[in-house]
């Protein structure tokens, strides 16, 4: 491994460890604090669920403590209770805790019957996960035989969430060949059990031993490894903590490096304990000498939303129409984004702060209009951000505590004294969302968002990018029901020349349509506005506000499903169009797009990763067209196509999370992120998706030598597995990030190709090996690599640790394709004896035009299996068989009866493994 390659690998590891997360979890003296477990608003009220959550965490804490060498335990947990549940004196108001930053979500299974516990993991090995998912039936112990004790499973999922490790089993492949023998995929290999298959016909089922496929050498389809109920092996928790003796993670000594599972694939054959012990958590702690205390719990019930706008009206807001653009965005927020029933106040500031409105509850249009009239109309003076924040705290405290209240802070100016109110901000326990407008906004703004769990956004002075409206449009409630949240269907803009037209379409799909609003802004004079619904009917009645330079049209009732067409015409000015809506039904989840960067600070040449999650409820939307628009501080916009292909930056294929590396730095400073997602004929909604990163479903156990099958998994409707057309359009703000250490142009090429993570190998005729993988690029996953190096070995560890010394395959005729294309390469191993029972390991490395190399790929394997020849059947001579009376008392007949009985028992024993 060259010195540059090593440095890049360290940078990538740092990138993963510093991944951006909204979580409030803190590690304090070995104890995890600030864990948020939220009960979904759609879960029927059941107070016993709260106690079951407490019991789960209480049981998990000592298990975690012992499993991690007395290093970690659960110290305190907040349980978020839905607003519609009955109130109780012991239920407190949340502070910074919201559904958006919950670490664990307890929600009804989707689809019904799928109670798999799992963890969302967007990134790769060592990167924190997003959220753990449990169902009420799992929490209450109704799935105990299938998954195991809830506390143990919580620790399994915690390892996914906190340390970025992966499963040591494989749902799609249960066995692999090693030296010609079938082995169950497990860790450690000392877990005992039997390999059996259940054969069912006509309502009756029998258990049989697994047969070997004569072509592949693997066990037949449906063969399962059932663990013994009683074990002595202690590892591993990431295989199955439901095994009674399992109390440890696999270490380097007992880790099964050959098993084709996600842990080996994603973590370069490292054991889970190696990854955990390399984490920041591990480095900050030493083993405790005394047992930890039991976890404590706070019960928090969601209440009404409280928001205070804190808006800059200093002299610098005069430039570039900033004041008008702020009012346009504020008007959208007050008209549409903020939910009914919310309490909203308004403060504006320059050198000092002025209260524009005390808290007002939004019950209808009257309150919204009254607040809109309070938006500032003139700009002058200096910039005192702290005075604005202090006034907002005062406004809120006149009616409510500041705990959990939200402040939307917008400024375009610098303020050297902003840090003087950081202590007050922390003590307020309010959530501060920041909107940085223009290149000179205070550099400390992001600190306010980070310390309070708020959203950080940036909008440039390029009005056609609609960044300010996108920032305010992203400020829907972190706690409100999904059906009540504002959803942005479209956000676009253009600078027209002469008398050009701005034409386009907006798709309203069946999952949305309530409270739909079309909003248009301009910079000089009102444009001509033409809008037609899907039936071709022209829509009139736009409300025109010439002072704010905007027009809007609310669509009454539920907007028609289909394609809406618009045409806007104006002379030499900038126009923008924004369309927002809400869910069409309280019971049908809408298609949503949420986007984010992997961290909030980019340090050149470490790449950033942009993620977009496209789902309908818990179900992923596949095959969508997803693009990210990333705008730098100097106004340059880069368009990225995001992919769900399981390659490059994308960790898992077909999980509805679309990803891509960003390396196109062009300046230091803030970058804004917007994602656009479009469905169409190729979009597919997969009703049942096997969760990659969750607890193993145990199909059965071996108890006292007998097979005990668990209830089968719910039947899957084959029609639900078919791809269905999902036509939709969405835009989503991905917040902002800050870049540093970007050199002046020309920017040097310091980006190697990305690691190949989806290498697959299979044998074909004449002992040839067929390799497939997704092409990396010249710079991570962009462009085209210069060449490939393919190494092979009969030792998996030699290939990993001494790749440069491995036998190299001739790749003279292998010309790399464009990034994200499918590569296929067939070769015959000639330098290594390839005989029956041989296991061959293969890895690929990409090299770019300036000789920068990628990390070696995941290691693929093939096992040569030559089917045994079937000997010709020799007919036995037919001999007359005397009739035998089995009840005869003739000597020898009794012995024959005993032999028949013994043979029958032997057959049954063989059948059971």
Question: Which residues does the annotation mark as catalytic?
Answer: 157
Q: Give the span between the Cα atoms of 265 and 892, in whole angstroms.
A: 61
Cα–Cα–Cα angle for 284, 289, 292, rounded to 5 degrees: 80
Q: Residue 893 in contact with residue 900, Cβ under 8 Å?
A: no
Spatial CB neighbours of 528, under 8 Å, sequence gap ≥ 6: 567, 568, 569, 570
- Which letter does DSSP use for residue 498 in this model? T
Instruction: Tell me the C-alpha to C-alpha distance, in Å, between residue 753 and each of 13, 579, 802, 804, 906.
Output: 16, 39, 20, 17, 59
Q: For the chain, what is the largest distance between any 2 Cα atoms, rounded to a whole number of angstroms?
A: 120
Is beta strand 175-178 parallel, antiparallel or unpaired with respect to 131-134?
A: unpaired
**Which ranges of 714-818 does DSSP label H, i.e. alpha helix?**
796-801
Is beta strand 296-301 parallel, antiparallel or unpaired with respect to 76-81?
A: parallel
Q: Residue 148 in contact with residue 242, Cβ under 8 Å?
A: yes
Spatial CB neighbours of 698, under 8 Å, sequence gap ≥ 6: 145, 146, 147, 148, 226, 227, 240, 242, 710
Between 47-67 and 150-163, two packed helices, what is the crossing angle to 10 degrees? 70
Instruction: Tell me the C-alpha to C-alpha distance, in Å, between residue 735 and each of 61, 245, 334, 566, 673.
Output: 35, 46, 20, 28, 6
Q: Which of 163-193 are b and which e, b meaning 16 or more Cβ less than 10 Å from the residue's Cβ? A: bbbbbbbbbeebbbbbeeebbbbbbbbebeb
Q: Give the span between the Cα atoms of 26 and 275, in whole angstroms.
A: 19
Q: Residue 675 in contact with residue 694, Cβ under 8 Å?
A: no
Find the helix or strand (DSSP H, E) in which 345 lies: strand 343-349
Spatial CB neighbours of 401, under 8 Å, sequence gap ≥ 6: 93
Q: Residue 386 in contact with residue 319, Cβ under 8 Å?
A: no
Neighbours of 317 (CB within 10 A): 29
Find the helix or strand (DSSP H, E) in which 424 lies: helix 422-428
């Amino acid at each position: 491994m060259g010195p540059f390659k090593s440095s890049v690998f360290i940078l990538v590891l740092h990138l993963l460890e510093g991944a951006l997360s909204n979580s409030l979890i803190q590690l304090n003296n070995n104890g995890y604090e600030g864990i948020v477990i939220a009960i979904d608003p759609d879960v029927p009220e059941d107070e016993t669920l709260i106690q079951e959550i407490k019991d789960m965490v209480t049981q998990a804490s000592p298990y975690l403590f012992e499993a991690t060498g007395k290093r970690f335990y659960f110290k305190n947990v907040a349980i978020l209770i839905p607003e519609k549940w009955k109130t109780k004196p012991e239920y407190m108001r949340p502070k910074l805790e919201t559904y958006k930053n919950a670490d664990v979500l307890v929600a009804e299974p989707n689809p019904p019957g799928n109670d798999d516990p799992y963890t969302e993991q967007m990134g790769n090995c060592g990167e924190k996960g997003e959220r753990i998912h449990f169902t009420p039936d799992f929490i209450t112990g109704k799935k105990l035989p299938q998954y195991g004790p809830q506390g143990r499973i919580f620790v399994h999922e915690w390892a996914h969430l906190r340390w970025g490790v992966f499963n040591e089993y494989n749902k799609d492949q249960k066995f692999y060949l090693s030296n010609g023998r079938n082995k169950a995929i497990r860790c450690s290999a000392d877990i005992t059990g039997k390999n059996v298959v259940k054969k069912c016909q006509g309502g009756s089922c029998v258990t049989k031993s697994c047969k070997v496929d004569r072509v592949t050498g693997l066990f037949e389809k449906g063969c399962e490894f059932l663990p013994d109920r009683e074990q002595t092996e202690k590892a591993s928790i990431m295989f199955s903590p439901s095994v009674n003796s399992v109390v440890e993670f696999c270490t380097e000594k007992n880790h099964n490096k050959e098993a084709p599972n996600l842990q080996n694939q994603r973590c370069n054959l490292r054991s889970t304990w190696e990854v955990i012990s390399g984490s920041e958590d591990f480095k900050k702690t030493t083993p405790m000498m005394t047992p930890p205390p039991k976890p404590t719990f706070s019960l928090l019930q969601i209440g009404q939303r409280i928001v205070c706008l804190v808006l800059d009206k200093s002299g610098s807001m005069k430039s570039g129409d900033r004041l008008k653009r702020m009012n346009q965005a504020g008007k959208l927020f007050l008209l549409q984004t903020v939910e009914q029933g919310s309490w909203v106040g308004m403060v504006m500031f320059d050198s000092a702060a002025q209260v524009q409105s005390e808290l007002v509850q939004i019950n209808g249009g009257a309150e919204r209009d009254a607040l809109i009239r309070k938006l500032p109309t003139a700009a002058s003076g200096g910039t005192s951000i702290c005075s604005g924040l202090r006034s907002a705290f005062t406004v809120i405290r006149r009616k409510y505590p500041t705990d959990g209240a939200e402040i939307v802070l917008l400024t375009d100016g610098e303020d050297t004294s902003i840090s003087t109110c950081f202590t007050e901000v922390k003590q307020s326990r309010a959530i501060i969302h920041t909107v940085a407008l223009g290149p000179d906004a205070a550099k400390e703004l992001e600190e306010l968002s980070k310390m309070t769990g708020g959203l950080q956004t940036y909008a440039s002075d390029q009005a056609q990018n609609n960044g300010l409206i996108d920032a305010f449009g992203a400020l829907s409630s972190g706690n409100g029901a999904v059906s009540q949240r504002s959803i942005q269907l479209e956000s676009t803009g253009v600078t027209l020349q002469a008398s050009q037209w701005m034409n386009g379409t907006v798709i309203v799909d069946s999952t949305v349509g309530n409270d739909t609003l079309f909003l248009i802004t301009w910079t000089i004079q009102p444009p001509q506005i033409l809008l037609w619904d899907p039936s071709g009917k022209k829509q009139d009645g736009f409300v025109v506000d010439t002072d704010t330079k905007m027009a809007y049209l609310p669509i009454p009732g539920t907007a028609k499903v289909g394609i809406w067409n618009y045409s806007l015409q104006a002379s030499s000015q900038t126009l923008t169009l924004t369309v927002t809506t809400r869910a069409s039904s309280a019971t049908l989840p809408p298609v949503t797009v949420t986007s984010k960067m992997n961290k909030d600070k980019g340090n050149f040449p470490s790449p950033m990763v942009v993620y977009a999650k496209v789902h309908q409820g818990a179900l992923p939307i596949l095959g969508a067209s997803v693009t990210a628009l990333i705008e730098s501080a100097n106004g340059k916009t880069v368009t990225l196509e995001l992919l769900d292909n399981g390659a490059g930056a994308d960790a898992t294929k077909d999980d509805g999370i679309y990803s891509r590396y960003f390396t196109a730095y062009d300046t230091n400073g803030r970058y804004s992120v917007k994602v656009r997602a479009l469905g169409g004929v190729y979009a597919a909604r997969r009703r049942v998706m096997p969760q990659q990163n969750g607890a193993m479903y145990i199909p059965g156990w071996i108890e006292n030598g007998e097979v005990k099958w668990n209830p089968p998994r719910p039947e899957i409707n084959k029609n639900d597995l078919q791809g269905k057309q999902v036509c939709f359009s969405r835009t989503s703000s991905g917040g902002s990030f800050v870049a540093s250490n970007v050199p002046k142009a020309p920017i040097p090429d310091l980006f190697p190709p990305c690691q190949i993570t989806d290498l697959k190998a299979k044998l074909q005729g004449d002992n040839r090996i067929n390799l497939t993988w997704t092409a990396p690029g010249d710079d991570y996953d962009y462009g085209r690599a210069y060449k490939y190096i393919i190494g092979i070995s009969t030792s998996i560890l030699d290939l990993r640790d001494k790749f440069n010394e491995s036998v190299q395959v001739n790749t003279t005729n292998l010309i790399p394709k464009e990034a994200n294309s499918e590569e296929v390469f067939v070769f015959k191993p000639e330098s290594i004896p390839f005989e029956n029972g041989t296991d061959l390991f293969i890895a690929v490395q990409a090299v770019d035009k300036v000789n920068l190399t990628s990390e070696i790929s995941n290691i693929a394997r093939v096992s040569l299996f030559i089917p045994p020849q079937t000997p010709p059947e020799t007919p036995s001579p037919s001999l007359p068989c005397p009739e035998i009376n089995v009840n005869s008392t003739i000597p020898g007949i009794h012995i024959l009866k005993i032999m028949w009985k013994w043979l029958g028992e032997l057959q049954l024993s063989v059948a059971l493994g």
